[in-house]
Amino acid sequence: MGETKTPRRISTFFLAIIAVTLALSIVAIFSGVNAYLDENTGTAYPSLLIGASGLALSAYMLLQTRRRTSQFTIKMQPVNTTLLCQKCGFKNLREFQRGDYIFKEAEECPKCKEKMQINSIYREAEEKE
């Protein structure tokens, strides 16, 4: 079965954009701190705000581009088999076993020793409609 080459993690162009945003944000924060120390709050606050926003944006972009580890799982929902004794009406519920099928003659009834029959096989769905 032909397999594809693993796709590259991130494009250079995209990485460059993140790097530029990051650099600009650091410069803005640096200048904001300087302006604050110089008591020039009119420049300090906007610079810090822009710097912090840029930093958050680039961090978000970096996180987004990180390859997530494949942790997919295929969840099996439990399937139950109900056995019913046709004679005495004894009911037995157990987990599905390979080979079970609806209307199959199954093990003996523990009460009257008659052969029981598989009456139903179903799963109880967890998801809400």
CA dihedral 46, 49, 54, 55 (to 10 degrees): 140
Q: How far is the CB of 111 from other proteins (least distance, A)?
A: 22
Identify the residue among 53, 56, 64, 108 touching other proteins (CB under 8 A).
64
Q: Is 4 in the site for other proteins (CB under 8 A)?
A: yes
Query: Which amino acid is it at 120?
Result: S
With CA atoms as reference, report the closest residue to 93 among 114, 122, 115. Answer: 122
Q: Is 91 in the site for other proteins (CB under 8 A)?
A: no
Identify the residue among 31, 33, 36, 62 touching other proteins (CB under 8 A).
31
**Chain residues that interact with other proteins, rule: CB under 8 A:** 1, 4, 7, 11, 13-14, 17, 20, 24, 27-28, 31, 35, 41-47, 49-50, 64-65, 68, 70, 72, 74, 76-77, 79, 96, 98-104, 120-125, 129
